[in-house]
Chain A
Amino acid sequence: MIKKFIHQFASPKTYMFQVNRAYPYIFYFSVIIYSLSVFWGLFLTPEDFVQGNSYRIIYLHVPASFISQSLYLAMAIASAVYLIWKVKLSVYLVRSIAPIGAITTFIALISGSIWGIPTWGTWWVWDARIVSTLILFIMYLGLISLHDSFNNFEKADKFLSILVIVGSVNIPIIKMSVEWWSTLHQPASITLSEKPAIDLVMLYPLFGSIIGFAGIVTCLVILSSKFQIFRREKNKSWVNDYV
């Protein structure tokens, strides 16, 4: 039964219908959660005892960098599924997540740079955390242009998913960079093993902004994947019926 369910959902047609049904709920829910949490974080929390008001950038920076790494993990899992089970939808998703990942990484880098000016006294340094995040950004762009450089979709899909898996080693490196090496970037404030180093008053809106941003990014991935499915399946009859 599970097999049948997976097979059904793995068809782009079913995916499209399910996703279309869920889209408005995810969209309105996440936009509301995100705007409320960002408003809460920016105006209703006290300022930080060291950084002052510039710390408020955390409510925009942390969700973006967290999601940029999560998206890569999602891509790696989808790539493995494609390579093992040859599920077409899976590789469509890999290709559609890549540009969204690039944008979230871009947001993480830019917001971090602007945050660096008042706190560190510089907008850019070559420390391990920042360099590994920059590599993530370049990887996203590279994967997109690699996939688009092939004439043959079959070949492009295979190369793309293999390279995504090769590149996935960068994710633990980004995560652990602040532990393994000395960096200007501070260590993680929220870890699974320890009590958060952020005061609760500041932590709740941060969680809200992460959840909200994740939802908004999910909507973007849905749109991007719809475009990819149309692009790849334009000769199938269901697409024409659907439109």
Chain B
Amino acid sequence: MIMFNFAFNSFSEAILMESQNGQSHGIYVWSVLLIVFLCIFMTFFFYKNKIKKITKKFK
């Protein structure tokens, strides 16, 4: 069993993610990845900011 094997031969292939049935699935995979990362990043930013604001009031 091969555990690690690059599924794509080039960068542009990885962007397009063309499947065996000829469809390009890259747009779906990449947009989900973007949404997930944005959500996580924005939540971190949001709470860091809120904590900063509330602790400022204490001083």
Contacts and interface: CB of A to CB of B under 8 A. Distances in A.
Let me know if chains A and B touch directly in the complex, using CB atoms closer than 8 Å. yes
A217 B59 CA distance: 30
A52 B21 contact: yes
A103 B32 contact: no
Interface residues of B, number: 37
Interface string B7-49: 1100000100111110101101101110110011001100110
Interface in A131-185: none
B3 A240 contact: no
B32 A60 contact: yes
A16 B23 CA distance: 51
B55 A54 contact: no
A57 B32 contact: yes
Interface of B: 1-8, 14, 17-21, 23, 25-26, 28-29, 31-33, 35-36, 39-40, 43-44, 47-48, 50-51, 54-55, 57-59
Interface of A: 38, 40, 42-47, 51-54, 56-57, 60-61, 64, 100, 103, 106-107, 110-111, 114-115, 117-118, 200-201, 204, 216, 219-220, 223-224, 226-227, 230-231, 234, 239-240, 243
B4 A40 contact: yes
B32 A44 contact: no
Contacts of B17: 53-54, 56
